Amino acid sequence: MAKKQLRELLRAEPHDGTVRMADWDPDSTPGLKAPKRALKDQKKHQKALFKFQERLYAEHKRSVLIVLQGMDTSGKDGTITHVIGNLNPQGVSITTFKAPTPEEKRHGFLWRIRKHLPVPGQVGIFNRSHYEDVLIARVHKLAEPKVIERRYGLINQFERELVRSKTKVIKFCLHISYDEQRRRLLERLTDPDKRWKFSEHDIDERAYWDEYQSAYGTAIARCSTPWAPWYIIPANIKDYRNWAVSRILLETLQEMDPQYPQPKLDIPRLVKRLNA
């Protein structure tokens, strides 16, 4: 029997149209029998990812969009550092989406997203994304319920357009526990080298933990589609988080199987010229 891909183990499959974040154990390590192997396997992943990225860049026909979402301290920056940081920066674009500017608010919520989509041959990473408009907007009631309801359909349509235009969409929800978030916030607060990352706003947001968990469950249930599935990554253990994201990215690129272009060249004549 063929070994199950990690994508199958971590793909969000709504039951009765719902996803409950509480059903996913953030301390678990699906697909990794020996957690101590995570770092060793990660190095293998890095070498393979680099080769596939080079082929994707050379092929210059398709692109990959990685969406990273998660609660504060879930590891979005760390994932970029440890997974994406080993790719060739020439073929990578990273965009961090914060609160929309006044100009962005004058347009539809996908307007600013479209401006940062990866071009052919590129791997694009969204650190937060268009999903903020159905997450924080829902939790803090920044839009009417009927507006948010309409956005789920617009997101699905948008992502389907991306796939049809040869952009592979990979969406990761980095899932941590309430207690783990507290530990990481305390670490930021007490470590002088990490204190710059601390914001008191993060403590304020913890009061809405249950509301965020519900909003994430709804967004994932409504927008985990065959063409752009969501993967829920248990993220309490950082090594596993990095291993899982790199493994799923590698499985996706292997399936895409980008190829080096083969230009028509008169090799003997060109070699002769070079040796003249």
pLDDT reported for residue 276: 83
Res. 35 pLDDT band, cuts 50 70 90: confident
pLDDT at res. 36: 78
In a domain, 268, yes or no: yes
Is 102 inside a domain boundary? yes
Range 209-222 burial, b when 16+ CB lie within 10 A, else e: eeebbbbbbbbbbb
Task: Using pLDDT thresholds of 50, 70 and 90, give the confidence band for residue 172.
Answer: very high
Residue 92 pairs with which residues in a beta bridge? 123
Q: Give the model's pLDDT for residue 8.
A: 96
Task: Please indicate, yes or no, if residue 106 is contained in any of the structural domains.
Answer: yes
% of the chain residues with pLDDT over 70: 99
Q: Is the four-CA dihedral 219, 174, 165, 7 of positive or negative sign?
A: negative
Q: Which 3 state secondary structure label does DSSP give 252?
A: helix
| Residues 235 and 75 sit within 8 Å (Cβ to Cβ) | yes
pLDDT above 70: residue 2: no
**Cα torsion at 156, 108, 122, 119 (round to 10°)?**
110
Number of structural domains, the chain?
1
Work out the mean pLDDT of the chain and round it to a whole number: 94
Would you say residue 1 has pLDDT above 80? no
Of the chain, the percentage scoring pLDDT greater than 90 comes to 87
In a domain, 189, yes or no: yes
Q: Read off φ and ψ for residue 81, nearest 5 degrees.
A: -65, -50
How does residue 40 score in pLDDT terms, banded at 50, 70 and 90?
Answer: confident
pLDDT tens figures, 120-155: 999 999 999 999 999 999 999 999 999 999 999 999
Tokens of 270: 């060109």
The domain that holds 155 is classified in CATH as: 3.40.50.300
The answer as to whether 98 is a domain residue is yes
CA distance 160 to 21: 25
Task: Report yes or no on 1 lying in a domain.
Answer: no
Is the model more confident about 143 or about 35?
143
> What is the span of the domain harbouring residue 81?
6-275
Among residues 109, 61, 45, 98, the alpha carbon closest in space to that of 76 is found at: 98
Q: Tell me the residue type at 93.
A: S
List pLDDT tens digits, range 95-114. 999 999 999 999 999 999 99
**Residue 143 has which token pair?**
């839009």
Cβ(178)–Cβ(79) under 8 Å? no
Reported as a single tens digit per residue, the pLDDT across 209-226 is: 999 999 999 999 999 999
Cβ distance 265 to 206 under 8 Å? no
Residue 204 lies in a domain: yes
Please give the model's pTM, rounded to 2 decimal places.
Answer: 0.94
Size of the chain in residues: 276
d(CA 150, CA 154): 7
Model confidence band, residue 3 (pLDDT cutoffs 50, 70, 90): low
Who has greater pLDDT, 54 or 44? 54
pLDDT of residue 163: 98
Q: Can you tell me the distance from the alpha carbon of 82 to that of 50, in angstroms, rounded to the nearest whole number?
A: 13
Q: Is residue 194 part of a domain?
A: yes
Supply the pLDDT for residue 43: 85
